[in-house]
Structures are given as structure tokens and as C-alpha cells.
Amino acid sequence: MTPLPPASRSRWYSLPLVIGFAAFAAIGGFFLYTEHKAHLFGALPWLLILLCPLMHVFMHGRHGSHGGHGGHSAPGGQGDHGKTGGSGESTKK
């Protein structure tokens, strides 16, 4: 059996198949939403609370660990906040 040339091979998908799948997915999504809307909205506050640790982990990845903040462990709990002048330059030399 010889393979077919590339031009005559049919694709595994076609436009009617894609349209049919999209319609089926839209109808299924509509019924999933309408039947489970109460469960979804009931879980939304908990999902937002669970999102906080994820945001913390991913947003701290941009600037390194907590050790790179410079001054969080200063005595008095002030950090570097009390050591800057009006122009933002450090007054400590």
C-alpha cells in the first residue's frame, strides 16, 4: 500500500466537525452553568480566599525572596521607612 501524496490527504478535522463540536460545547456549557450556578456562586468567596496564597507565591517570584527587601528586620518594626528624606534619598551615611 503506497501512502497518499500530501495534497490528497484529508485532515482529521473539517469545518462541519468543528461547527458541530462548538455547538455541542456551547449547549453543554449553557446547561452546566444553569444547573450548577448556585454551587459556583457559593464557592466563589472561597475561591477568592484560596487565590490569595497563589498570588503571594507567584508575585514574590519577580523580586526574589523576603531577604531581598532590605530592612524588614530592622529594630522597632520601622524597616527603612523612617530613614528617608523628603527626596527619597537615604539620610543615613
| Residue listed under C-alpha cell 528586620 | 73
This prediction has a pTM of 0.37
Place of cell 444547573: 35
Judged by phi (left if over 0) then psi (alpha if -120 to 50, else beta), residue 74 lies in beta
Beta bridge partner(s), residue 90: 84
pLDDT digits (tens, 9 = 90+) for 29-75: 999 999 999 888 898 899 999 999 888 888 876 665 555 555 555 55
End-to-end Cα spacing for the chain: 84
pLDDT at residue number 92: 57
Specify the pLDDT at position 49. Answer: 93
